[in-house]
Structure 1
């Protein structure tokens, strides 16, 4: 099976699972948010593009990997990132703990740094495709922090 089909399928599963783990209810709507938060409709397309780029990156890295050990590293890097990516939404939205999500986003951010560092020797282009995801998560972490500041304490 094509690496792009596999990675694209994984990205699609992650998108759907993340969407299902993100109940936007009255609790979220009542939170104070900074003026610079993007409109709600922007998050779905942004995550679709970012995870699409990540899927493309994974397929390129898999194909460019020189041996089985490098391919295993690619899989591990993307699997860790997927787990960290998925963990954020339930913490923030379902459990209603933006403070816990703020701690978790550090791990998501770290998984992206690991992807950038780990992919660079395999494929500069695959690593470059992760940069928008890294930048968006950096912005999202600042947004998460500001929401915690404006609304805490939680729990």
Structure 2
């Protein structure tokens, strides 16, 4: 049973620890993924890209608040999840999502393969929907905070697909 505060009456959520854990996980995922990204590499510059691709500086401007929103939404949902099972399921969904997020840059830049990147981003999109649904079930406000992330990744998938098509 939940109280008006949204907490299970038998067990209180992790509070600040949930926010700290989600922020740490998001920062680690961002750092691991970021190490592989090199938009100044000869290989990347040689790729044919669509005219609607954002300029390189736009990615840090977009990703910084998106990562903040992921950390906040996950921490918020972890705090409001009912019981250990729901929190564990959310933590696993977040971990898988962040691993797929970081893997994309390894697949695309590390392997120098737009096709591998496309496969990775399609998996990430599926994971995004799963994470969004799980978070939204726990707390709709936190779920809505993930919508820009899901939308940006869908845009990135379209961009990745176009780059893969242009560079067969």
**TM-score using structure 2 length:** 0.87
- Rg larger for: 2
Question: Moved runs in structure 1, 4+ residues, more than 6 A?
Answer: none
- SS class of match (1:2): helix
Counterpart in the other structure of 2:8: none
**Unmatched tracts of structure 1, length 5 or more:** none
1:113 equivalent in structure 2: 129
Residue number among 35, 54, 60 corresponding to 2:70 in the alignment? 54
Give the whole-Å Cα distance in 1 for the aligned partners of 2:121 and 2:143: 20
* CA RMSD after TM alignment: 1.1
Q: Deviations over 1:15-63 (max 9, x none)?
A: 2211111123011011111110000001112111111100001100000
Larger deviation, residues 40-49 vs 106-115: 40-49
Q: Distance in 2 between matches of 1:135 and 1:120?
A: 15
SS in 2 for 1:49: helix
Identify which of 84, 105, 129 aligns with 2:145.
129
1:3 paired with 2:14, answer no
Name the structure 2 match of 1:20.
Answer: 35
Following the alignment from structure 2 to structure 1, what is the Cα–Cα distance between the partners of residues 82 and 21? 19
Determine the structure 1 residue equivalent to 2:161.
Answer: 145
Q: Is the 8 A contact 2:107 2:113 kept in 1?
A: yes
User: Taking structure 1 as the reference length, what is the TM-score of the superposition?
Assistant: 0.94
Q: Is the 8 A contact 2:34 2:102 kept in 1?
A: no
- For residues 79-113 of structure 1, what are the alpha-carbon distances to aligned partners after superposition, in whole Å with 9 as ceiling and x for unaligned? 11011111100111111011011111111000010
- Aligned counterparts of 1:139 and 1:101: Cα–Cα separation in 2: 14
Q: Is the 8 A contact 2:74 2:135 kept in 1?
A: no
Say whether the 8 Å CA contact 1:33–1:150 is kept in structure 2: yes
Separation of aligned partners in 2, 1:8 and 1:119: 16
